[in-house]
Amino acid sequence: MINKKALILGYPGIPGDEEYCEGVYHDINNYFEHFTSINGGAWNADCPESSEDEIFKELSITKKSLFEYINYFNKCAKYSVFIFAGHGYYTRQYGTIIQINNTESIPVSEIKFNAPRKLFIIDCCRKISSTRLIESNLRKSISIECFSDNREVYRARFDRLLNNSVEGTIEVYSCGINEYSQDISDRGGLFSSKLLDSAIGNENLTIFKTFETAKSFVQKMSRNEQNPIIVKPRMSGVSFPFYIA
């Protein structure tokens, strides 16, 4: 089995503020439930029979704790996944910056993993600014199947596809530079919602194929005001698995 780790982070803001995005809670839980489901690869987390957790979720993490996770991943993971839902903005100097708690922010470029394969999914606004901007972020839940007899089968399928995928870093952003990401309080981020909704079918799906389907939905629903982008290696090979049929 390939040693893999995923960290799902979110910061919704302060309840009562106009900037508060309640949908962030849904995003964190929905991504967690996707990866731990058999179709998401049956990652181990909070399951009695698992020897070691592979996926972690945190709200309002501190920068110190974030780097502790990074150091831990870098000691063992061959595939590292980083997901963030919440507030963010974009600067010409540092690129996309995410706000991880009420007082701390960090450029995505400073989150560095050593694994041969790395996936970043960032659902936040990317309006150009030298100061923090407000932003907004949709999705339904997927049931966790910790006790399914098929878990090891699906885990093996995921690992086989991952091993055959291209090495490098894939970054997925919910919107383009200088755009806002939309939020629906009872579902989550529009992009995250459609990305996970698109992870379904009768065949295995890579993150690229899932992204392309979600992108068209987001553009249509936002009237082309939100245009997700993907950054991937310019080389031959398939992208990382995201859905196991």
Average pLDDT over residues 172-194: 96
pLDDT at 202 (0 to 100)? 94
- Residue 47 clears pLDDT 80, i.e. is over it: no
Q: Is the pTM of this model over 0.85?
A: yes
Residue 1 CB neighbours (<10 A): 11
Q: What is the band of 133 on the pLDDT scale with cuts at 50, 70, 90?
A: very low
Cβ-Cβ contacts under 8 Å for 65 (sequence gap 6 or more): 58
pLDDT at 143 (0 to 100)? 38
Q: What is the band of 69 on the pLDDT scale with cuts at 50, 70, 90?
A: very high
Average pLDDT over residues 16-43: 95
For the chain, the domains span: 4-243
Give every strand in the sheet of 95-99, ordered side by side.
88-91, 95-99, 105-107
One-character DSSP codes across 87-120: -EEEETTTEEEEE-SSS-EEEGGG----SSEEEE
pLDDT at 130 (0 to 100)? 53
Average pLDDT over residues 42-46: 90
Residue with tokens 């960290």: 7
Q: Answer with the residue of higher pLDDT: 51 or 8.
A: 8
Q: Tokens representing 139?
A: 């999705």
pLDDT at 236 (0 to 100)? 84
**Is the CB of residue 128 less than 8 Å from the CB of residue 90?**
yes
Average pLDDT over residues 111-126: 98
Cα 121 versus chain centre, distance: 4
Burial of 166: CB neighbours in 10 Å, binned 0-12, 13-18, 19+: middle
| Distance separating alpha carbons of residues 146 and 178, to the nearest angstrom | 40
* Residues found in the chain: 245
| Distance separating alpha carbons of residues 65 and 221, to the nearest angstrom | 36
**Is the CB of residue 4 less than 8 Å from the CB of residue 54?**
yes
- Residue 145 clears pLDDT 70, i.e. is over it: no
- Residue 134 clears pLDDT 50, i.e. is over it: no
**Is the CB of residue 219 less than 8 Å from the CB of residue 227?**
yes
Q: What is the band of 51 on the pLDDT scale with cuts at 50, 70, 90?
A: low
Q: What radius of gyration do the chain's Cα atoms show?
A: 17
Q: Answer with the residue of higher pLDDT: 168 or 52.
A: 168
Average pLDDT over residues 123-151: 56
The residue among 57, 63, 72, 49 whose CA lies nearest residue 98 is 63
Residue 110 CB neighbours (<10 A): 13
Task: For the domain covering 4-243, report its CATH number.
Answer: 3.40.50.1460
